[in-house]
Structure 1
């Protein structure tokens, strides 16, 4: 899912543009939602639709999920779904985007509350925030992860990557006991480490690997940050 298409050189890029100009074929009109909910009731309806879609995706491949079945599970009419999503592809893209937005929001919450903390604590909190969304429901995360290969995700992933890098950089910059010569490179490496290790779990659906990563990933990130920090 997130960062699945990261290249070797992309880790060191400092200006990843999430705009359609940078990725002319990404986020095409075919994947855009028809409209965004503006009232609480409409937002609840869209949430129910997205939740129903995820529930179906955890049971079978997305190729077998239809808007009709989603409507039945969400308890809405098929017409209601089409009010927001013109077709299934737009619906699946919305599910992926919602999941990625949750991950970013979780990391940004840590970033916004890192002042006064030491590097070790900030590192552990960043890892925990990233893992929280991904592993709380591993079946749902894996189902959503598999969507990326069939959707145009370049612009979306670039935007997510940029936001995550910024959040991690801000958090690390707040450490009371460490500085970094190139905070952009360091934040990029942390993001690549977090995404790469969790991607392995999502691909293998290995519960034992999940337990290992949950225990070892904080140690890995902590050791790297300690090694490159300037005291």
Structure 2
């Protein structure tokens, strides 16, 4: 990735991308150490020295890949966001294959699938999700957030197009509200210490309930 990449703010592009197994393992160790430091000490006390000490590598090794702390955090956010988008795109591909040889799926089923696609990435590694929300507001995501939303929107529109019992005359605002609502529920759960493990455990069911209710209400029934 180069600084000319329009999704990456100036100065936050990684210096190089690992291509060998060993270098990939090194970057993964740096990522994991960053998560641990964020959870243990908080974003304000995160330093590259603390990260490298926990990762068992030198500061110079970290700087081979990332020019500064902000670039490291941006790379982690980018990877986390990309996992969400990839899950949505996989869902859209699956729905299209299933419906190619048969009828579409009920809107409630599609709503549950969309909610699950979003939440499953977040709850797979709750520690990582908590860490990412600590730094998301402090990093200039710029065009990355725009590109993320457009990919999520495209995949969601593809899924909703296969509803057997509903359609959407103006699908854009519907997708925006759905994604914003589910995203807000997830963020509130992970940012609220009072939610705890029970809140995370309920998140999948709660997100599915919200998605079902909203899409059912917003749809033009057929």
**Runs of 4 or more above 4 Å deviation:** none
Question: For the residues of structure 1 that align with 2:127 and 2:17, how far apart are their CA atoms?
Answer: 27
Question: 1:226 matched to which residue of 2?
Answer: 216
Q: Is the 8 A contact 1:54 1:95 kept in 2?
A: no
1:198 CA displacement = 1.2
Shift of 1:211: 4.2
Residue aligned with 2:186, SS: helix
What does residue 214 of structure 1 align with? Answer: 204
1:187 equivalent to 2:168? Answer no
User: In 2, distance between residues paired with 1:65 and 1:164?
Assistant: 31
Q: CA deviation at 1:127?
A: 0.6
Equivalent position SS for 1:50: helix
Q: In structure 2, what is the Cα distance between the partners aligned to 1:212 and 1:46?
A: 33
8 Å CA contact 1:35–1:84 kept in 2: the answer is yes
Shift in Å, 1:124: 0.9
The verdict on how the C-alpha distance between 1:184 and 1:40 changes in structure 2, with shifts beyond 3 A counting, is: farther
- How far does the alpha carbon of each residue in 1:125-145 deviate from its partner, in whole angstroms, 9 at most, with x for none? 111111112223333312211
TM-score w.r.t. the length of structure 2 is 0.84
Aligned to 2:130: 142
Q: Could you tell me which residue of structure 2 aligns to residue 10 of structure 1? A: none
2:55 paired residue number: 74
Q: Is there any run of 5+ residues in structure 2 with no aligned partner, and where?
A: none
Alignment partners' CA distance in 2, 1:162 and 1:174: 19
How far apart are 1:43 and its partner, in Å?
Answer: 2.5
For 1:99 and 1:172, the matched residues in 2 are separated by 24
C-alpha distance in structure 2 between counterparts of 1:229 and 1:31, whole Å: 41
Q: Which structure would you say has the larger RCO, counting Cα contacts within 8 Å and 6 or more residues apart? A: 1
Unmatched runs of 5 consecutive residues or more in structure 1: 1-18, 21-25
Selected match of 1:95 from 52, 62, 76 = 76
Q: 5 Å matches for 1:9-24?
A: 20=6
Q: In the alignment, what sits opposite 1:6?
A: none
Does 1:36 pair with 2:17? Answer: yes
1:132 matched to 2:99: no
Is 2:154 the counterpart of 1:166?
A: yes
